Amino acid sequence: MDSEKAASVYPGALRLITFHVEQVNEVVAGSLPIRWSSTSEERPMLIKKIVQESADVKSFYLQPLPQDKRPLWNFHAGQHLPIRLLTEDGAEVRRTYSLSGAPSGDGYYRISVKRHNLGLASRILHDEMSVGDVLEISRPSGDFFLPEAKTPGSSSEYSNCIDQERLETKSDQLVLLSSGIGITPLLSMLHAATSTEPGTSRNYKRIVWLHGARDGKHHPFQDEVQQVKTASTIVPVETHIRYSQPTEADDAQYDSIGRIDSALILSKLRTEDDVRNAHYYLCGPSSFMSEMEDNLNQLGVDPERIHFESF
């Protein structure tokens, strides 16, 4: 099917492929989810602090046990943390959650989890886990991250992904597009892109972050984003918050009503050349991702400049 017909079925699609199912295999209970990277290396982590970030999002600050003197594993801004939980009957539950804190860190990992009524792991974390409890983690992983977001002393396992021209010039704009809980990996990217830590400086001439939420009660990290924006000394940061269903209590917490679209992107990037030359990092529900990819394609953005992760 050609791209025009494909896009009419699924916005942003360039091609549709039809599969004929010949066999269905039942997945064994307890199998690893798709985003889980199996590794034999695990370590227990202590829940040091829990913060209610919004009506349905909590942040969990994880630190090594007192007897564990090893440094934390390095991670790249945008990556996720595999965790292992146990249900009341002893069954294992494995999930991955985006790391929402700065890669430079302060001796802890932070994961921020949205509670889903049908989500087993999120319900365990929200309803059963408390400060002082212990959970198992594996090394941070994932291919969705800022290419040059490398912490001091980290390995060069991703060095082949680094665009050296981008490291040497300061000509690109970084555009973060998020919706709902998709804010979490992009918040880590914002911390990394504005960091003044040695070896972590960025080369973006400007950062633009467009975030969509239902309303103020469902908009985590409002204050933190503003603090990072205000404190940034190496790159200017512009944000725009769009609520789809604002309430009277949300006055001054958002900039516009509706959903993020191509008109908003163009207005914030200012020129068509700026739009085409920016680097985009997208995260949110699949419907949001599809709309954003379609909008960027219509604006003439090279697909290689579009990086995304769907929640």
pLDDT tens track for 195-220 = 887 655 467 899 999 999 999 999 99
* 130 and 207 together in one domain: no
* 177 and 297 together in one domain: yes
* 272 and 211 together in one domain: yes
Q: Phi and psi dihedrals of 49, rounded to 5?
A: -155, 145
* pLDDT band with cut points at 50, 70 and 90 for residue 192: very high
* 230 and 305 together in one domain: yes
Within a domain: 249? yes
CATH at 175: 3.40.50.80
* pLDDT band with cut points at 50, 70 and 90 for residue 151: very low
* 60 and 181 together in one domain: no
Q: What is the pLDDT of residue 310?
A: 73
* 209 and 264 together in one domain: yes
Residue spans of alpha helices (H) in 2-130? 3-9, 120-127
Range of the domain at 68: 42-138
* pLDDT band with cut points at 50, 70 and 90 for residue 159: very low
**pLDDT for 82 beyond 50:** yes
* 186 and 246 together in one domain: yes
* 205 and 295 together in one domain: yes
Within a domain: 22? no
Amino acid at 16: L
| 60 strand-pairing partners | 50, 111
Q: How many domains does the chain have?
A: 2
CATH at 101: 2.40.30.10
CB-based contact 131:116 (threshold 8 Å) = no
* 299 and 171 together in one domain: yes
Within a domain: 61? yes
**pLDDT for 65 beyond 90:** yes
Quick one: average pLDDT of 66-94? 94
CB-based contact 236:265 (threshold 8 Å) = no
Within a domain: 32? no
- Considering only CA atoms, which of 88, 100, 83 is closest in space to residue 32? 83
* 112 and 201 together in one domain: no
* 282 and 201 together in one domain: yes
Give per-residue pLDDT as tens, 280-311: 999 999 999 999 999 999 999 999 999 988 76
